Amino acid sequence: MTREDPPDSVVSTFTDVPMGDLTEGNLSHTEKVPEKVAEFPSKSEEVWNNLEDNWDNDPDNARNWPKSKKWTAVSIVSAYTFVSPLASSMMAPGIPEVAAKYHITDSTTIALTLSIFLISFAFGPLILAPLSEMYGRTWVLHISNLFTMAFSLGCAFAPNTGALLGFRFLSGLSGSAPIACGGGSVSDLFSERDRASAMALYSLGPLIGPIVGPVAGGFIAQTIGIKWVFLIIALTCAVAGLVGIPLLKETYAPVICLRRAAKAGDPEKATKVHPHLLQERGSKLHVLWINLSRPIIILTHSFICFILSLYMAFMYGIFYLLFATFARFFSVTYGFRAGVGGLAYLGLGIGFVTATIFGAKFADKVYKTLADRNGGISTPEMRIPALFFGSFFVPIGIFWYGWSAQAKIHWIMPIIGAGIFGFGMMTTFLPIQLYLVDSFVYAASAVSAASLFRALLGFAFPLFGQRMFDTLGFGGGCSLLGGLAIVLGIPFPVWIYYRGEQMRAANPLTRDSTLPKKP
């Protein structure tokens, strides 16, 4: 981190005062500093002042970690982020086996065994993201991973449909932690200019996990039984925890400072010297409520967050709609069995991987080029051109998939269409997440607010998707979805590109992101 790049995206969860921006002139009317600080600082206070003044160059600052340590942290967060979506989708090709095992005949209940994971996956970040900003991101990730392992074992040995649905719901709740905290961890580790590649690696987990899951899950369910799908998920969680717990250290600056204050032997004096470490007055329950309500406030009080989250959610809904209908479509139309049917998901996976490799470099290059043309000053709107690019591929892929499926031509054609959609989806996800992280002081809460919409539509679309295709046909249904993708994905990003800075300046949630920063 440089002096020109203050950690403005890192804020104490106990006040609204950004670290590194504590001058009275930069405080809003709701932000207060203590009226009186010790007139003659003691030696310990001087030590703390020196530590805070040198935070930009402090080795405890996550942005100053060695590159190897940074990328190890990002890789572990990405591994955690890979496991939970793997749990969400690995059973998809084995849905017929689940229906047979538990004697389920209703199509909505069958779809619910897959998608109920996403309803708690939607609301989990509203709790876990603020908790990560109160107590640190690292142990929220570790503990949630252990709970996901336990709930996956519960799914494996569920005696009836109700128990299976209950454990699937709880798995989604604990599995949402990496989605809630991961974007904030990337923000902790990398400055705006260097963030694109790390965010691409982090974003790959929740998109590639649901692809690897069905490919492996199809063969597992077909050969050794659906129970082993959940046992292997639990084993994957165990492996991720064995690597992550000893190697992943805390990245969130306010929590690091609070822990360092506690070790100093006089934390009360440390908090008096550093107002941003001072907890809000009132009960712990009041402080918890303020933090838990923050994602909802961001979602409902920022139109930019709302519209970008809606676009992400719409694409995620289509994504899970394809998941829920692939098994039946390729089985009925092309005679694929569960194992081979899992390979149909590879089209989406190839699209995701290609977009991650290409999209990250493209987004990073565009961002740096625009910043250089602007005299070295970067803005979040410089992320949007990469979103323009990806948004064109989304409807193309949807139309391609739908009409090739309608015509029942060679099986590779709908898979190619799904791959094009996957490329567009991933290429748009990356700049949207980067824009949210760059614009909001509470990065984890902003990303979790977006994930609320995303998971809700991912839960809802499979419940009505098959009926929509039965009524309109694959071509008509995908034409409807493609048209909506054009409406959401083309005009609004253009509008944000030209008016986004003005809107951010008028909103107290994003006002700080309008301060000039060197990229």
CATH code of the domain in which 430 resides = 1.20.1250.20
3-state secondary structure of 226: coil
Q: What are the phi and psi torsion angles at 378 (to 5°)? A: -105, 150
Across 173-181, average pLDDT? 86
201 and 348 inside one domain: no
- pLDDT per residue over 78-131, tens digit each? 889 888 878 877 887 777 788 888 888 877 788 788 888 888 887 887 778 778
Most confident of 328-342, 371-385, 393-407, 429-443: 393-407
347 and 466 inside one domain: yes
According to the model, what pLDDT value does residue 285 have?
65
Count of CB atoms situated within 10 Å of the CB of 411: 18
Across 411-437, average pLDDT? 89
Taking a C-beta distance cutoff of 8 angstroms, is the pair 74, 204 a contact? no
Strands (E), 326-450: none
**pTM to 2 decimal places:** 0.68
Is residue 24 included in any domain, yes or no?
Answer: no
According to the model, what pLDDT value does residue 234 have?
94
Is residue 411 included in any domain, yes or no?
Answer: yes
Using the predicted structure, report yes or no on whether residue 227 has a pLDDT greater than 60.
yes
According to the model, what pLDDT value does residue 287 have?
60
Domain boundary among 235, 250, 265: 250
Give the residue among 320, 363, 371, 517 at the shortest CA–CA distance from 438: 517
Q: What is the DSSP letter of 378?
A: B
Is residue 272 included in any domain, yes or no?
Answer: no
Tokens 């070295």 found at: 376
Find the domain containing 428 and state its range: 284-518
Alpha-carbon Rg for the chain, nearest whole angstrom, is: 23
Is residue 495 included in any domain, yes or no?
Answer: yes
Is residue 12 included in any domain, yes or no?
Answer: no
3-state secondary structure 206-269: HHHHHHHHHHHHHHHHHHCCCHHHHHHHHHHHHHHHHHHHHHCCCCCHHHHHHHHHHHCCCHHH
- pLDDT per residue over 438-453, tens digit each? 888 777 678 777 877 8
Taking a C-beta distance cutoff of 8 angstroms, is the pair 188, 69 a contact? no
Q: How far is CA 285 from CA 17, 72, 136, 268, in A?
A: 21, 35, 18, 21
Is residue 439 included in any domain, yes or no?
Answer: yes
| DSSP element (H, E) containing 29 | none
- Tell me how many domains the chain contains: 2
Using the predicted structure, report yes or no on whether residue 245 has a pLDDT greater than 70.
yes
246 and 310 inside one domain: no
336 and 229 inside one domain: no
Q: Which of 272-276, 302-306, 465-469, 509-513 has the lowest mean pLDDT?
A: 272-276
According to the model, what pLDDT value does residue 212 have?
79
Is residue 112 included in any domain, yes or no?
Answer: yes
